[in-house]
Amino acid sequence: MNTADLRLPVDVPSTALFTDHYELTMLQAALKGGTAERRSVFEVFTRRLPEGRRYGVVAGTGRVLDAIESFRFDTRELNFLHERGVVDEPTLQWLADYRFRGDIWGYPEGEVYFPGSPVLRVEGSFAECVLLETVILSILNHDSAIAAAASRMASAAGERPLIEMGARRTHELAAVAASRAAYVGGFTTTSDLAAGFRYDIPTVGTSAHAFTLLHDNERDAFTAQVDSLGRGTTLLVDTYDVAEAVRTAVEVAGPELGAVRIDSGDLLLVAHRVRQQLDELGARNTRIVVTSDLDEYAIASLAAAPVDAYGVGTQLVTGSGHPTCSMVYKLVARARSAEPDAPLEPVAKKSLGAKTSKGGRKWAARRPDADGHAEAEVIGTGPVPEELAPHQLLVELVRRGEVVAREPLDTVRARHAEARAKLPLSATQLSRGEAVIPTEYV
């Protein structure tokens, strides 16, 4: 069963109002002025990476494709716009028949990106493209921020698995998107059942402190959990005294106890003490799971600790301090007229400060060094140099309004692991620094 096709409650019937007021007023003015049908090219990119980050991660592309397919103005949306006087009657009539019928190219989901990378290119009439700005940016900015944080955490964790458990720290629908993005970035499981249901991500979980506090003593709580879930369960051992809890856990479950979870205290010190105690009690195969406001730095600090898995919540779903990627959606080329064969002309904003952009319909390639590692992100508007042709990054996502590039989430996840592995080793350093490879324009 492909759960992504079920139209579950975590979706919405229409994404048409996930847009800004001024996109519709621009549409109205363009329709009246005769420029709405001019062929146009918009690109999504970021001018800089969040401070200290060495690379970005493209995530949310699959959700963008879903959102574009659902971008329809039905009776309720049109009535709302009419009652609020947002646009005039001719514009409402145009919106009633709206379907995106253009083309979209972009970096495949899971790929890494750098400043200036054209991670998405949307082509069609100005009218049909301009309406998609907000919904595209809201998805890509959120999901890519979460995936970048997840990727850094996965690098810090090495081969140890990561559990996403941040649903209670963010909006209920954002939690589902965050689980998906975290899985792309390298997390292995989630605690959020809606994410498991919607995207088939493996789900895990056993008990919280409330379950221990429900019982008259810790032994009764552990006994009830083991009787119900089996000896392979994970017992939470820091409600009262950790050493006493570990002793009781092994007495109740035996050396076959699956795992213990530590959720407070000096995790480095406590993990070493718990490992020693478990080994002395004969539970040498019992794993240790740690939680408690972890981020990539805390995970890295536990690299030498006898920890088997990490559970991460708040820091993950907030992008570990960077909840957005600052991606923008800019018009980079447009035709001089609405004639089908009118040539495209580059356009770009020119202003003081850091908000300038480069015009023209762009291609992108990642130049490898002699060892196959990335050494530069090369972006251009003219012919692609022969030596870079095999290394182009953009792939076709939508052709004449039809999605042509849906793929399983596990494929996206594997792509990210491969892309990250091809970056210079310094990409995995957590110390602050610039983008791990430069962006070159040709």
Residue 28 has pLDDT above 50, yes or no: yes
The predicted-structure confidence for 301-359, as pLDDT tens digits, reads as follows: 999 999 999 999 999 999 999 999 999 999 999 999 999 889 999 999 887 666 778 99
Percent of the chain with pLDDT over 70: 97
Token look-up 């990409």 returns: 427
**Token pair in block for residue 96:** 């009633």
Beta-strand pair 259-262/287-290: parallel
| Distance from C-alpha of 163 to C-alpha of 155, rounded to nearest angstrom | 14
Q: Are 165 and 189 in contact (CB under 8 A)?
A: no
Residue 431 has pLDDT above 90, yes or no: no
Return the number of other C-beta atoms located less than 10 Å from residue 3's C-beta: 11
Q: CATH topology for 11-145+322-410+424-441?
A: nicotinate phosphoribosyltransferase (3.20.140)
* Mean pLDDT on 417-425: 97
The predicted-structure confidence for 99-116, as pLDDT tens digits, reads as follows: 999 999 999 999 999 999
Measured CA to CA in angstroms, residue 140 lies from 130, 133, 144, 172, 300 at distances of: 16, 11, 6, 18, 27
Measured CA to CA in angstroms, residue 188 lies from 142, 148, 165, 184, 383 at distances of: 20, 15, 11, 9, 41
pLDDT for res 12: 66
What lies within 8 Å, CB to CB, of 243 at 6+ separation is 273, 277
pLDDT for res 179: 98
Measured CA to CA in angstroms, residue 4 lies from 7, 13, 102 at distances of: 7, 14, 24
Radius of gyration of the CA atoms of the chain, in A = 25
Token look-up 């182009």 returns: 392
pLDDT for res 285: 98
What DSSP designation does 36 have? T
Please report which residue ranges of 74-192 form alpha helices under DSSP H: 75-84, 89-96, 126-130, 133-157, 172-185
Distance of CA 16 to the CA centre of its chain: 22
Q: Which CATH number fits domain 206-307: 3.10.105.10, 3.30.70.380, 3.20.20.70, 3.90.226.10?
A: 3.20.20.70
String of DSSP letters for 226-288: HHHH-TTSEEE--SS-HHHHHHHHHHHH-TT--EEEE-SS-HHHHHHHHHHHHHHTT-TT-EE
Return the number of other C-beta atoms located less than 10 Å from residue 352's C-beta: 6
pLDDT for res 1: 42
Residue 138 has pLDDT above 70, yes or no: yes
Return the domain boundaries, the chain. 11-145+322-410+424-441, 206-307
| Distance from C-alpha of 67 to C-alpha of 135, rounded to nearest angstrom | 7
- Average model confidence (pLDDT) across the chain: 95
pLDDT for res 146: 98
pLDDT for res 241: 97
